[in-house]
Amino acid sequence: MRPVVFDECFGWLHPAAGRRGVVLCSPMGLEAYCTHRAWRALAKRLAAAGLPTLRFDYPGTGDSRGGDDDPGRVRAWIDGVHAAVRWITNTLELQEVALVGARLGAALAAAAAAERGGVDRLVLLAPCSGAAFAAEVRAMARLAGAPQLDPDALEFNGFRLTAQTLADLTALDPARLAAAPAARTLLLARTDVRGAASLAGRLSGLGAAVEEEPFADYAALMRSVERGVVPVAPLERVAAWLAADAPTARAEPAPRPAEPARLALPSAVETPVLFGPGGGLAGVWSEPAGFAPADRPALLLLPSGAWHHVGFARLSVEIARRLAAHGYASLRMDLAGLGDSASAAGQPDGLIYRRGSIADTRAALDWLEARGRRRCVVLGVCAGAALALHTALEDERVAGQVMINPGLFTLGDGATAEALGRDESHPAAFYLAQLGDPANWPRVVREAARRPGRLLDVPVALLRRVRRRFGGSAPHAAFRRLGARGVRTLLVYSAHDVSLGELEAHFGPGGAWFAGQPGVRLETLPDADHNLTGGAARDAFHRLLDAYLAGDPDGDAVGAIDGTPCAERA
């Protein structure tokens, strides 16, 4: 696996000796996160079959340049497919190229292929039209009660479709193509929606040979980021179909990209990197484009839960590029078994809160130190926050930590996000609020039977819990140790977040134990969700992070995290 950059798009090349290359066109929005690990597994499987494979981020997504609000998004996404085809074809001197697209990515792949006059082979996985995709996103947003601040746009889970993007999506429909996108097409269609037959008929009518099969594992694929499961059967079917009758592989080594992968941005220069044992860990190194004080620590950005290194709704990308504009370098990374990194030896993929991940973060600290960055601030959301805490405990190169909504304060053998979600505990006030609606009583009773000590917030139970938790638990000792070592902690919670239950269980209501605790600043964001999705929540967090790095004189720090007194900072 090799990192590549082309036309301001970021990607990973999975090299092979064959002369038929494959470009993977991912889904969009939340579906892109859900399928990320499966997309990597498919690319590996195709390369093993002798097909060099490129997976990439469309303009304005993932690690590529741009954002959702940029104009002409649909056109830019299709042009991104064209750029990927040109890059792999020209760089590797290929004879043939095939496209594989999933969901909206299938519509983009078909549109680009038709504009090219056809590709050699095309695989469409659960394809949908642009209008159908927008309708599904709108339905999910309504079901989730997601606020829509702009009446002309559509936002859900941090993915924004502007009015122009919504309008342009209506014209994106593989069933209305004017020319065949490929001579041969494999269509794996969803079994729970209509339209697959009409698409197959349309492509056949345009002269393409179409093989249509049901996509029985579609639901499992779309939940893979939660479960840590990658359906094998459809990947094997796609790989076998694409490898059939491929041109004879070259005898000589395939050409390599001539230039190192590097993405130049207005405020940052970003370089994808592989590090750790065997180069199995993946990340993106973001440096300021201009002058950067040498004494400032680098930031190590850890993944949120099972999401890959860009962060939920690109939070890590946003933080890294904003930090670069302020003169800070950062490394956003994937842990073993997650995102773009290799699997952990003897472990299933998708595990979080895994103590073995400390070896990964320490490998990242080694990489940073080799580049002259010995002192580091570790930042993580949810499971990444717990890992930040334990990395700081075990490695004195960590000068500070930023913990956002830690679901737990401990690490163990690891579990999937889905399994942990079944055992999460809200603060007591949450359950008291549920008692007003009789429809919620069964749930409250179940929680009472499962965790009686956390449910009823009566004075006696509260005193027992506080007495039991204060002073003797491992989390208390952890923060005391770090405070004694001079490690500064910024602990950030979203109001009403489920992780507040864990905070309350260990540190009392509102984290009362932290009051006066040296080196720790506890903050609550009133209008934020677990992943800081909204713009207002992120702006508020950025202000907290700026103050933390600068050594806010209203806090308990004497100076900045880099040792510069506040009065001397520009």
Q: Which residues are CB-contacts of 518 (< 8 A; sequence separation ≥ 6)?
A: 483, 556
Structural domain includes residue 145: yes
Per-residue pLDDT at 226 exceeds 70? no
Between 343 and 194, where is the model more confident? 343
Here the CATH number for the domain that contains residue 273 is 3.40.50.1820
Looking at every residue in the chain, the average pLDDT score rounds to 86
Per-residue pLDDT at 380 exceeds 60? yes
Q: Which of 176, 209, 243 is the last residue of a domain?
A: 243
Q: Are residues 310 and 207 in the same domain?
A: no
Number of structural domains found in the chain: 2
Q: Which of 198, 214, 243 is the last residue of a domain?
A: 243
Q: Which residues of 57-75 are buried (b: 16+ CB within 10 A; e: fewer)?
A: bbbbbbbbbbebeeeebbe
- The region of weakest confidence among 268-277, 381-390, 410-419, 531-540 is 410-419
Q: Are residues 317 and 217 in the same domain?
A: no
Structural domain includes residue 358: yes
Q: Are 314 and 391 in contact (CB under 8 A)?
A: no
CA distance 16 to 368: 31
Per-residue pLDDT at 228 exceeds 80? no
Share of the chain above pLDDT 70, in %: 85
- Predicted pLDDT at 405: 96
Q: E strands of 141-297, at which residues?
A: 154-156, 159-161, 182-189, 209-214, 263-264, 268-275, 281-288
CA distance 297 to 74: 39
Q: Are residues 283 and 341 in the same domain?
A: yes
Confidence of residue 553 (pLDDT cuts 50, 70, 90): very low
Q: Residue 375 — left, alpha, or beta (φ > 0 → left; ψ -120 to 50 → alpha)?
A: beta
- Predicted pLDDT at 414: 84
Per-residue pLDDT at 555 exceeds 70? no
- Predicted pLDDT at 359: 98
pLDDT tens-digit map of 3-55: 999 999 999 999 999 999 999 999 999 899 989 999 999 999 999 999 999 99
CA distance 106 to 24: 9
Confidence of residue 470 (pLDDT cuts 50, 70, 90): very low
Q: Which residues of 255-272 are buried (b: 16+ CB within 10 A; e: fewer)?
A: eebeeebebeeeebbbbb
Q: Are residues 154 and 303 in the same domain?
A: no
- Predicted pLDDT at 540: 96
Q: Are residues 330 and 476 in the same domain?
A: yes
Structural domain includes residue 256: no
Question: What is the mean pLDDT of the segment spanning 99-119?
Answer: 97
- Predicted pLDDT at 561: 54
- Predicted pLDDT at 517: 87
Share of the chain above pLDDT 90, in %: 69
Pair of tokens at residue 341: 């990194």
pLDDT tens-digit map of 411-454: 998 887 767 755 555 444 443 444 445 555 455 455 445 444 44
pLDDT tens-digit map of 348-370: 998 999 999 999 999 999 999 99
Q: Which helix (H) or strand (E) holds 2?
A: strand 2-6
Q: Which of 211, 243, 275 is the last residue of a domain?
A: 243
Between 477 and 453, where is the model more confident? 477
Q: Are residues 195 and 310 in the same domain?
A: no
Q: Are residues 225 and 286 in the same domain?
A: no
User: Phi/psi at 44 (nearest 5 deg)?
Assistant: -60, -40
Q: Are residues 150 and 15 in the same domain?
A: yes
- Predicted pLDDT at 139: 93
Structural domain includes residue 466: no
CA distance 120 to 113: 9
Structural domain includes residue 352: yes
The boundaries of the domain holding residue 562 are: 264-421+471-568
Q: Are residues 220 and 87 in the same domain?
A: yes
- Predicted pLDDT at 218: 86
- Predicted pLDDT at 535: 85
Tally of CA atoms within 13 A in the half-sphere of 77 that contains its CB: 28
Question: What is the mean pLDDT of the segment spanning 77-87?
Answer: 98
Structural domain includes residue 446: no
**Residue matched to tokens 């798009």:** 9
Per-residue pLDDT at 530 exceeds 60? yes
Per-residue pLDDT at 557 exceeds 80? no
Q: Are residues 515 and 410 in the same domain?
A: yes
pLDDT tens-digit map of 182-211: 999 999 998 877 766 689 999 999 999 999
pLDDT tens-digit map of 282-301: 999 999 998 777 789 999 99
- Predicted pLDDT at 474: 80
Q: Are 522 and 509 in contact (CB under 8 A)?
A: no
Per-residue pLDDT at 313 exceeds 60? yes
**Residue matched to tokens 């601040």:** 149
Structural domain includes residue 450: no
- How, if at all, do strands 96-102 and 53-56 pair? unpaired
- At residue 66's C-alpha, the angle toward residues 65 and 72, to 5°, is 125
pTM of the model: 0.88
- Predicted pLDDT at 223: 75
Per-residue pLDDT at 277 exceeds 80? yes
Per-residue pLDDT at 565 exceeds 60? no
Q: Are residues 307 and 213 in the same domain?
A: no
- Predicted pLDDT at 308: 94
Q: Are residues 218 and 290 in the same domain?
A: no
Structural domain includes residue 449: no
